Amino acid sequence: MFNLNGLYLFLIFVQIVVIFFPQLLIVQALFIFSIGLVYSFKANDLKVIKVISFISGSEVYYKQSAVGAIGSSVPWEFPKYAIFLICILFFLSSFESKRYYSFSILIYSFLIFISVLYTLLLNEITFEGVKSIMGFYVMGPFALGATILAFDNVKISLYDFKIIILYYAAGIFPAIIFLLKNLSIYSTIKVIVDSNKQFSGYGPIHVSLAISFLIGLLIISIIKYHLWKNVILPYIVIVISFVLMMLTFSRSGFYALLPSVFIAFLYQPKNIKSILSVALISIVSLIIILTKLNNFTNDALQLRYTIEENDPRFALMKSDFDAWLDNPVLGAGFGRAKKYRERENRGLVSHNEISRFLAEQGILGFFCILIILSIVIDRIKRERLKLFMPYILFLTIFSFIFFNSNAFRLYLPGFSLGLVFLSVNQTENHYSRKPNLTENKKAY
């Protein structure tokens, strides 16, 4: 259909088109979904991963467009449905491939399915009701399981990981342009000491986390793995992305980025002097950028990070645990724990995926959590190529921070955690080692 190089360039072209003609966004979504199904049917693992990476990156712009009524909006939970179907088809098409965690994920999915049936028994069964339950509560966990099934033990190289980053960057590109447009008219945007939805165009928490994920991937790929022959453009992307992330006024992206990247860099530092010099340069650059941004926002940014406030997430978690205590076995049912959150006068949406599992699925949710934790721990223990461990640590920590601060609003944490289960079988694909990239040059 397209060779890999042609596909990437074509998708960049498509992204530019939808920026200027957002009414074509639904066409873009259906096109990439169709490409993903074709690749899944052919069991082409790397191509499937790249399509999923692109869709994951595109999700923020899909939702910015839907919220702002820009063009032809993509259905709200389309990425989760699309990726679930792509991953399941790929799993079936490559069923004979060796995998380590298929049985565990099938049990995990079965437990979620039981909870879905239980929820339907508690509610009047209507199309809109089923659609709401599946879209807002179930498809995220299902998509996570499907992603792990698809990615489990798929062999890639470190160079392939660079390609995955490129496809994610291509996906999120229109969202970055959207924010840059708002930056150009920032003087007309009301700056408040809270998450800035007017600037973000959609939930600032989600936007900042999606951007911070790209920043983290780029930082590690540049400094830890030397995957870029020319680092100027990646560094420019990092700086621009960081500025936009901070101007969302959501702290989640910054708080997810720091520990996940920091721990990734702590793992087996080979050159302490090099690491310290990079850290010093990063800290100085960070201080300069934050100072400039604080002046730009008239000290509002500093107030955002220093003001004392009660985080409503703790009250929401408490309400989830109350729901679990009242319904310890099967939980309150998907979407039915909101009455407990109403008691706290904290809104209707949980921000913690783990407490939501317990509240809505009870002991079944508890076992789902144990299954995911156990296979992640086993995957980390099983990693023999220590060179890949920094990425595994970054992806794992970022995913769980996302789950604990923003639940499953985006597919992104499922994508991040799914990448942990890839198997890197090559170590000679970074530029500092002058690798032979001949057979990989066509990969993007």
Q: Please report which confidence band the pLDDT of residue 274 belongs to, taking 50, 70 and 90 as the band edges.
A: low
Task: Label residue 169 by pLDDT band (50, 70, 90).
Answer: very high
**pLDDT at position 348:** 58
> What's the burial of 9, exposed, middle or buried (CB within 10 Å: 0-12/13-18/19+)?
middle
pLDDT of residue 270: 60
In a domain, 340, yes or no: no
For the record, the structure tokens of 232 come out as 């100027």
Q: How confident is the model at residue 438 (pLDDT cuts 50, 70, 90)?
A: very low
Range of the domain at 30: 4-267+307-311+346-443
The two structure tokens encoding residue 185: 């008219």
How many domains in the chain? 1
In a domain, 117, yes or no: yes
Is the distance from CB of 17 to CB of 63 less than 8 angstroms? no
Round to whole Å and give the CA distance between 396 and 140: 17
The whole-number pLDDT of residue 435 equals 35
Written as one letter, the residue type at 78 is F
Spatial distance between the Cα atoms of 85 and 425, rounded to a whole number of angstroms:
27
> What's the whole-number mean pLDDT along residues 1-7?
61
In a domain, 361, yes or no: yes
Q: At what angle do helices 412-419 and 139-151 cross, to 10 degrees?
A: 20
Query: Within a domain: residue 358?
Result: yes
Q: Which residue has the tokens 């693992």?
A: 45
Q: Which secondary structure element, helix H or strand E, spans residue 342, and what is its range?
A: helix 338-343
Report pLDDT digits (tens) over 13-71: 999 999 999 889 999 999 999 999 999 999 888 999 999 999 999 999 999 988 875 65
The pLDDT of residue 399 is: 96
Residues linked to residue 189 through DSSP beta bridges, in sequence order: none
Q: Does the pLDDT of residue 403 top 50, yes or no?
A: yes
Is residue 332 domain-resident? no
Return the DSSP state at 70. -
Q: Is residue 243 assigned to a domain?
A: yes
Does pLDDT of 110 surpass 70?
yes
Angle between helices 139-151 and 45-67 (to 10 degrees): 160
Strand partners, 156: 424
- Quick check: is 43 in a domain? yes
- Mutual angle of helices 312-326 and 353-361, in 10-degree steps: 20
Between CA 55 and CA 48 the distance in angstroms is 11
CA-wise closest residue to 412 among 131, 100, 86, 60: 60
Interacting residues of 252 by C-beta distance below 8 A, sequence separation 6+: 205, 208, 209, 212, 405, 406
pTM to 2 decimal places: 0.92
Distances from the Cα of 53 to the Cα of 16, 48, 151, 276, 299, angstroms: 18, 9, 12, 32, 36
- Grouping H, G, I as helix, E, B as strand and the rest as coil, residue 424 is strand
Q: For 318-350, write each residue's pLDDT tens digit.
A: 888 889 999 999 999 998 888 887 766 555 577
Is 390 part of a structural domain of the chain?
Answer: yes
